[in-house]
Amino acid sequence: MSDPLSIIASVVGLVATSAKIASIAKQLYDSGKDAPTSIHRISEEMDQLNLIFGQVKTLLEGHARKRLSRSRLVMLPLHHLMTILSGCVLAHSNLDKWLGEVAGAGLGARAQWALWKEAEAAVVLVDLERNKSSLHMMLTIIQW
């Protein structure tokens, strides 16, 4: 996964997973007035990450088509981007699994989330926010 085209494929996969997670989280949050706020925060983070993933994809497509100046990309080593994207993949995998379990739990889903997942979700949300900030900073440096 060291070339821009394979990273683009990874970003496309992250976009699809983010959309799925955001949709499930939104449905769970909207299903009742007492839904934990972490579920709402997950939905918001996924929406924000999708915007950033779209920018990363556009940037890498420009690089793959040689439309982006090489001097601008020198500031963004691909292994740094891959590290951040790997962190996103791990967080997405955990959230997808957890939300899938809760969504399949029926009426007790919110209680199950509150008992099992609230603390774990807080940790994953911190990771997502850190990865989002890192990606955003990289994009800002390159696009500036």
Mean pLDDT confidence for 23-52: 81
Whether the per-residue pLDDT at 32 is higher than 70: the answer is no
Could you give the CA distance from residue 35 to residue 27 in angstroms, rounded to a whole number?
A: 10
Task: Indicate the pTM of the whole model.
Answer: 0.74
Whether the per-residue pLDDT at 9 is higher than 50: the answer is yes
> What residue spans define the domains of the chain?
4-143
pLDDT at residue number 90: 87
Q: Which of 96, 102, 128 is CA-nearest to residue 32?
A: 102
Whether the per-residue pLDDT at 133 is higher than 50: the answer is yes
Per-residue model confidence as pLDDT tens digits over 99-131: 777 776 665 666 666 666 677 778 888 888 998
pLDDT at residue number 1: 44
Could you give the CA distance from residue 102 to residue 40 in angstroms, rounded to a whole number?
A: 14
Q: Which of 52, 60, 56, 55 is CA-nearest to residue 3?
A: 60
Per-residue model confidence as pLDDT tens digits over 54-101: 888 887 777 656 665 566 656 666 777 788 888 888 888 888 888 777
The number of residues making up the chain comes to 144
pLDDT at residue number 25: 83
Measured CA distances, 93 to 17, 20, 65, 111 (Å):
9, 11, 31, 22
